[in-house]
Structure 1
Amino acid sequence: MAGKGYGALVGEGLWSNNQALVAMLGLCPLLAVTTTATNGLGMGLATTTVLVLSNATVSLIRNLVRPEVRLPVFVLVIASFVTAVELTMQAQFYQLYLVLGLFIPLIVTNCAIIGRAEAFASKAPLDRAIVDGLAMGIGFTLVLMVLGGMREFLGQGTLFYQADLLLGSAAQGFGLDLGEGFQGALLAILPPGAFIGLGFLIALKNLIDKRVERRRSAQRAARKTSEEPGASGELAPS
């Protein structure tokens, strides 16, 4: 596992082993905070930061921690970085911190983070642990942002509403607004809308995977047929 190349690690994090769409980890913040794309992006960036830093730290101390205490040590490492991220958000992005609320400290309990620390970072060198954490974090962030954008657009007719809470005053005019006359679907911004939206994203990913696999199977079959004796019109030797 630790010997995987950077490309394979990035591919797994973004798609084939996406922690939200495949592993189904971290669903609590995924479903709770994705009422807007801005909220999803903010939570995703916070989670990615913790994931990268905890992966790097676990990789550095993996040979110093006894196996019987590794999980408590990993949780302590993650909790330390979550506290640092929480204090940073309070100082720099206070309004967004108020919106995300309790779900920032709850990053400690995100199974995706402890799962990567235990399954990968504790067995991998520093460079691969960092790449894995970054890829998994970006994949998780993209799902948060897409789901938040879907719910926000369908529910209230906006996209990246209050982006200035995360990106600063320069982003006040950033985003899309269909106006006050838009009649949105209330279900989209209610809790059931999060489950329905996530279900559509998972179904879309599975559909794409199946189509890609069918195409690859057809290509393999065509290649095998072309390599068979007599496929090009020549008789096979008797």
Structure 2
Amino acid sequence: MSNYREIAWQGLWKNNPGLVQLLGLCPLLAVTATVTNALGLGVATMLVLIFSNILVSLVRDFVPKEIRIPVFVMIIAALVTTVQLLINAYAYGLYLSLGIFLPLIVTNCVIIGRAEAFASRNTPAKAAFDGLMMGLGFTAVLVVLGAVREILSQGTLFAGADQLLGSWAANMTIQIWHVDTSFLLAMLPPGAFLAMGFLIALKNVIDTKLQEKQPTAEQQEIARARITKVN
């Protein structure tokens, strides 16, 4: 259980693909103009992460080390094609919005990195859980970045949700405030780059505060000595 807890902590916070590893920055900066686009690409990436990790873990003992990377890329490419066709069939509006960034999931360093660093060395269950946590961490960064950019540029949240969830979600758009002229910087990749910098800075501040609250090695030694003396 503690092992799975550590995997979750690594994927969601400590080793987050977007905030710490700084992988997959191309879609992070280009697609996150709205929450809908961010969530759609995040879910697609997470599905590919989970199933590629499972498949890589299953075949790891049968693939020679010399050709493991090409085999991993073939597995990822097949899964990306499957996800792309599903989105094309069931969420065509989102498919058009994401454009080239859907097939580019194949080149996302997050996926190939987890296949090589974790899935190829662990059981399918742990590999699937790692893919889920890394995918959730990556999706969370996408959604937060998309929310910040959408609010600043359009004053809304969940605009175009029907593209992802269907016609019933057409009324899900939340109007935060009325915008006469869109904030162009927030809509463009440079705005995403600035927002990303603020998110990374915020995470660093939180990590520093958490580290300050943790007892030092000297304090832990004193506490152990007191407990030993009492006993």
Runs of 4+ in 1 over 4 A off after TM superposition: 179-184, 220-229
Tell me the equivalent position of 2:188.
Answer: 190
Aligned counterpart in structure 1 of residue 150 of structure 2, from 149, 152, 174: 152
Which one-letter code corresponds to 2:127 in the other structure? A
Cα deviation code 1:6-57 (max 9, x no counterpart):
1111111100010010011011111110000110000000000000010000
With normalisation by structure 1, the TM-score equals 0.90
Answer yes or no: is the 8 Å Cα contact 2:157–2:176 preserved in 1.
Answer: no
What CA deviation, in whole Å up to 9, does each residue of 1:184-221 have, x standing for no partner? 53211111101001001100111100100000036x65
User: 1:62 matched to which residue of 2?
Assistant: 60
Q: TM-score, normalised by structure 2?
A: 0.93
AA matched with 1:67: K
The one-letter code sitting in structure 2 at the alignment partner of 1:31 is L
Aligned residue pairs, count: 228
C-alpha distance in 2 between matches for 1:224 and 1:175: 55
Measured in 2, the distance between the counterparts of 1:203 and 1:158 equals 25
Structure (1 or 2) with the larger CA radius of gyration:
1
Match of residue 51 from structure 1: 49
Deviation at 1:5, TM superposition (A): 1.2
5+ residue gaps in structure 2? none
- Normalized per residue, the structure richer in helix is 2
Give 3-state SS (helix, strand or coil) of 2:215's partner.
helix
Partner of 1:15: 13
Is the alpha carbon distance of 1:225 and 1:183 closer, same or farther for their aligned partners in structure 2, counting shifts above 3 Å?
farther
CA distance in 2, matches of 1:100, 1:35: 11
Residue 81 of structure 2 is aligned to residue 83 of structure 1:
yes
Indicate the larger mover: 160-169 or 96-105. 160-169
* Paired-residue identity, %: 53
Deviation of 1:91 after TM superposition, in Å, equals 0.3
The Cα shift of 1:175 comes to: 3.1
| Unmatched segments (≥5 aa) in structure 1 | none
Find the partner of 1:36 among 30, 34, 37. 34
